[in-house]
Chain A
Amino acid sequence: MVAKTIIELKDVWKIYKMGKVEVPALQGVNLKIKRREFLAIMGPSGSGKSTLMYMVGALDTPTKGSILLDNKDIAKMSESKLAQIRGRKIGFVFQRFNLIPSLTALENVILPMAFQKVSEEKRNKKAKEYLELVGLKERMSHKPTELSGGERQRVSIARALSNDPEVILADEPTGNLDSKTGDHIMKLLVDLHVKKKKTIIVVTHDADIANYADRKIVLKDGKVLKDGRHHKIYAAE
């Protein structure tokens, strides 16, 4: 089976301007991500991993080069079209959870569906389903501050799942968690990959976690240093 390329980066540069100093965060990155791929992005701090994630997630535009989502250049899309893509095609999981503090777990999961104008009845049902999937059905009326780190990250995974996106982007999802909780979160992501057939891109410092992935790239100084596939060691699970 030849999987389709859903995300393609062509010679992507991102140069931040800090006054007169130019910081090149990405320097000519070329990358093709195929549907249902599980990709781990590694690299030292400051190597441009987050910057790359923001580009892939249509949260930022490159200084030079192009990013194609389903063969369409995001640089040519309107702001509202980009918002729609972020809302429907991509689910984000952040290192710092980034839940809306004033909303309950359930409301947080509902929010992306509200932006896509999903009917109230349907989104309530869906949100509960997703929370159940991550094992938080009992906690759905809690505010983020009333949840542990692991629980918060599970809520944000449930949120990333709403609108049923093709791609899940996770920027150091276990970075703020202990290793046991982190493993649990990674298991969830792997499950999504295996059972829900999601394309998953994970940024991580942790080699163990990267081993969950079936493709690993290493960034350094804004360039792709290594890009390699390996056998799925978890496939049997």
Chain B
Amino acid sequence: MIKDFFRYALTSMRQRKLRSWLTIIGIIIGIASIIALIAISQGMQNYVEEQFEEFGTNMIIIRPGTLFAPPGAGEYGLNEGDVDVIERVAGVDYVVPMIYDYSNVEFHREEVQAQIFGVPTEHLDELMDDTGWKVEKGSVFKRDDDYSAVIGYLAKTEMFDDDLHIRNSILIEGEKYKIIGILEEIGNEQDDTMIMIPMDRARDIVNKSEEVSMIMAFAKQGVDINELTDEIADELEDSRGEEDFTAMSSVQLIEQISEILGVISLIVGAIASISLLVGAVGIMNTMYTSVLERTREIGVMKAIGATNANILGIFLIESGLIGLVGGTIGVAIGAGLALLVGYISPSLELGFSLVIRIEPSLIIFGILFAFILGAIAGLLPARSASKLKPADALRYE
């Protein structure tokens, strides 16, 4: 009998094609935006998780400024003195100061603004190990005053019209550097387009002898990373006199990013829910109209043996079907949208790229949710249909 109801609901929807589609569009918009948002925020989570795996759990980043944000190029405020303070904190394995800034880079007479990364050679091998960065070709520099550069995976092909190769020479602020290494893909555009040069060279370029952009500290094995972060923060605050910096462990960083992403997706999700609510009200409206129009039909069905429950079922299935069709199309559009955003995300310069995966569970959830939502929206109209007195319904004009 359920099968008959489905068939009947479908023919009735086909009978009112335009109105059915308009109602369905309302659901499509709601479901598509929710599915896209869920997929995109999952994509961000995926990215964060992948970063987490890459970084390991023993890294602490110290940056100037009290605001939480990803490391920004051209920021200064920390200095070599801070590096010494951090190195003396018990539990710290080694410390790497960094300069991170923009500068003019020229290759084959083409000049671009690129991010340069000044790193001392002292702990470079350990740093590469702990951050999971690997050299694809060539090697890293061995001396702090070498005119050599190691470039990121994307810098190789994307930075200039001509591809960069090992042993090519580039001009940084007019000085000639030889490319001695190319990194494997790291996974985010910011890191993959970097040009890494020895610390002393970077100091010359940005013309700062003491200051650094950020400091990375690595914990010894078995040390509680969050406790160590607090200790470093305490010591630094003592020596600097105020807390004008941010110390954050990789764990906290991930947590914080996840938290922010969670809040963002909650807010955006709430907004998307409103559009879905509007869609549901649309279904309700359509179903009320349909019940009114079909009052006599309902009377006839009761006259030929339909129970109240049958009538309720017929209308619930119809509104559920509107939801189902809207949900199916909505999920497809939403998933497509998310994949598209994922595809173009590397070029959005967000500092990260989305890892969009459309899980089967998300598809099922979206479609089922729309069906149930449709049925719920149809509940009141269907109830009023089922409660119609047959004689009154038959007399209805």
Contact = CB atoms under 8 A, between A and B. Distances in A.
Interface in B8-27: 8, 11-12, 14-15
B270 interface: no
Contacts of B301: 100, 111, 115
A103 interface: yes
Given A100-B297, A117-B1, A59 B391 contact: yes
B302 A83 contact: yes
A115 B391 contact: no
Given A59-B391, A100-B300, A79 B8 contact: no
B309 interface: yes
Interface size class of A (residues with CB under 8 A): 20 to 34
B176 to A, nearest CB: 81
A88 interface: yes
Contacts of B308: 79-80, 83
A98 B15 contact: no
A92 B304 contact: yes
Contacts of A101: 15, 297
Contact of B303 (A88, A92, A163): A92
A116 B305 CA distance: 7
A71 interface: no
Contact of A159 (B14, B299, B304, B389): B304
Interface string A38-55: 000000000000110010
A210 B14 CA distance: 42
A173 interface: no
B391 A54 contact: yes
A230 B395 CA distance: 33
B233 interface: no
Given A80-B309, A86-B302, A102-B11, A114 B391 contact: no
B204 interface: no
B115 to A, nearest CB: 65
B390 interface: yes
Contacts of B299: 59, 98
Contacts of B389: 60
A115 B304 contact: yes
A87 B391 contact: no
Interface in A53-69: 54, 57, 59-60
A99 B309 CA distance: 21
Contacts of A54: 390-391, 394
A112 interface: yes
B201 interface: no
B305 A103 contact: no
Nearest to B390: A59
Given A60-B389, A60-B391, A103-B11, A80 B4 contact: no
Nearest to B296: A98
A60 B391 CA distance: 6
A203 B395 CA distance: 16
Contacts of A88: 305
A179 interface: no
Nearest to A83: B307
A50 to B, nearest CB: 8
A83 B391 contact: no
Nearest to A101: B15
Nearest to A50: B395
Nearest to B13: A102
Nearest to A90: B303
Contacts of B188: none
A115 to B, nearest CB: 4
B305 A83 contact: yes
A141 interface: no
Interface in B285-336: 296-297, 299-310
A112 B305 contact: yes
B1 A60 contact: no
Contacts of A59: 299, 302-303, 390-391, 394
Interface in A63-121: 79-80, 83-84, 86-88, 92, 94, 98-103, 111-112, 114-117
A60 B303 CA distance: 10
Nearest to A84: B305
Interface string B26-47: 0000000000000000000000
Nearest to B387: A79
26 contacts: A51-B391, A54-B391, A59-B302, A59-B303, A79-B307, A79-B308, A80-B309, A83-B302, A83-B306, A83-B307, A86-B302, A86-B304, A88-B305, A94-B394, A98-B300, A100-B300, A101-B15, A101-B297, A102-B14, A103-B8, A103-B11, A112-B305, A115-B304, A115-B310, A116-B305, A159-B304
Nearest first, the 8 A-B pairs at minimum CB distance are: A87-B305, A60-B391, A83-B307, A115-B305, A112-B304, A59-B390, A54-B391, A102-B11
Given A59-B391, A100-B300, 6 more contacts: A50-B395, A59-B390, A80-B308, A86-B304, A98-B394, A101-B15
Interface of A: 50-51, 54, 57, 59-60, 79-80, 83-84, 86-88, 92, 94, 98-103, 111-112, 114-117, 159, 163
